[in-house]
Structure 1
Amino acid sequence: RDPNVVIVIGGGPETTATGAWFAGREPAYPQGIRGWALPAEAYREAGAERMQESGEGESPNLRAAQLAILGPRTGDLVWDIGCGSGALAVEAARFGAAVLAVDADPGACSRTDAAARAFGVPLQIVCARAPHVLERLPEPDVVRVGGGGVPVVRAVVDRRPERIVTHASTRDEAEALGAALTGNGYTVACSLLQSVDLDTEVWTERERSVVFLLSARRSDVSP
């Protein structure tokens, strides 16, 4: 879990500075694609043909809020539990973080792999069911819980990451997840996010999404 020897095989950091970039790999902008919290169309344009969004847990607006709270960066290990389409795992890796994407659905694992290949980012996919598989994984810095409910959230809290984000579709579910996050030295917050997708040709509503966003920050870590 906590190795004291790390062997790196393969390409290293950039040997010369180009512009404002000093170290590490170049940011992953395949085919000129720029930005974060990309829609499914951007993944398909990059070559991830199997990419798809499903439900409020995959919306770009929710993903943007989750990424903003987690703040993945170079040197972090991110767990994405219930990776679904693979979008959040890939975008966390594009920030330079190491990512473990966990899902029991082989289809989700395949979509995540296709998205990672399309954007040229390294991540490890663990095709197994949480929370049991989490016992074998190395300690995370930040965690997104995309599925599995209260049992998974409790297992994640036991591993003491700096930050945790998850979501719920109902208030009862949000209260249960909030109770699982509360205590153990964590500060918990919950927001109700509502987004409306508009057709800009006629300015009418195309799709509406309402979701509870829950986050927990370890109290001994600076904001």
Structure 2
Amino acid sequence: AGQHPAHLHGVRGWALPAEAYRGAGGESGEGESPGLRAAQLARLGPRTGDLLWDIGSGSGALAVEAARFGAAVLAVDSDPAACARTAAAARDFGVQLQVVEGRAPHALERLPEPDIVRIGGGGVPVVTAVTDRRPERIVTHASTRDEAEALGAALGANGYTVRCSLLQSVELDTAAWSERERSVVFLLSALRSDLAP
């Protein structure tokens, strides 16, 4: 096991708060709230033997947590700083993953076939490129209903059974019981239709 930095000593649990990943110099962005991450991980179900593509890895939080479940992870991001944050978060948590710097969908062309995919951005073109590779499960998110409908239609038209949930979370400051942060997002999860019950 790797040596964890002091701020990660004894860390347990999943969907850790964003602060756990900021030690690597990262900031969480849109689509990286712990609640959304927990739901994405639950829908993907990463496990040993899976290859996960995390497209738009951002802070590296989802990539690291999937690796902690035992999945092999390819974390793809076009931003060199995001790639560095993901690599640093992996080191901090003592997990192995591979970082791929590049813009999807072009960066995906030479990657090995994924079992599960989290799409953190890129819209319909990235969704379509991913469905062409036929992973078992795909999760993505949208900030508006129109965007969610477009992504859902692309998934459905390409052989996936789609579920969509509107997730809202409110982080409270327990000292004053006041609202600290609010997140509202559409979560889309897709299962390859030949595997759907």
Q: TM-score, normalised by structure 2?
A: 0.93
Q: Does 1:156 align with 2:134?
A: no
1:1-223 matches, within 5 Å, as 31-44=9-22, 48-55=23-30, 57-221=31-195
1:178 to partner: Cα distance: 0.8
Q: Which amino acid aligns with 1:191?
A: S
- Alignment deviations for residues 43-70 of structure 1 (CA, whole Å, 9 cap, x no partner): 34xxx33122112x01000000000000
Partner-residue secondary structure (3-state), 2:195: coil
Question: Which secondary structure does the structure 2 equivalent of 1:144 belong to?
Answer: strand
Shift of 1:221: 2.2
Distance in 2, matches of 1:213 and 1:192, equals 6
Cα RMSD (Å) of the superposition?
A: 1.8
8 Å contact kept, 2:24–2:92: no
Q: CA deviation at 1:184?
A: 3.3
Say which SS state the counterpart of residue 213 (structure 1) adopts. strand
Which has the higher Rg, Structure 1 or Structure 2? 1
Q: What is the alpha-carbon distance in structure 2 between the residues aligned to residue 157 and residue 189 of structure 1? A: 15
Question: Within 1, Cα distance between the matches of 2:140 and 2:69?
Answer: 20
Instruction: Check conservation: 2:166, 2:185, Cα contact below 8 A.
Output: yes
Distance 2:107 2:15 in 1: 28
% identical equivalent positions? 78
Structure 1 unaligned residues grouped into runs of 5+: 1-24
Gap regions ≥5 residues in structure 2: none
Measured after TM superposition, the shift of residue 147 of structure 1 is 1.1
TM-score, length-scaled by structure 1:
0.83
C-alpha distance in structure 1 between counterparts of 2:103 and 2:20, whole Å: 29
- In the TM superposition, residue 205 of structure 1 has moved relative to its aligned partner by 1.2
Secondary structure, aligned partner of 1:137: coil
Is 199-208 or 169-178 further displaced after alignment? 199-208
- Runs of 4 or more, structure 1, over 3 Å off, are none
Paired AA for residue 54 in structure 1: G
Give the strand-richer structure, 1 or 2: 2
> How many residues in Structure 1 have an aligned counterpart in Structure 2?
194
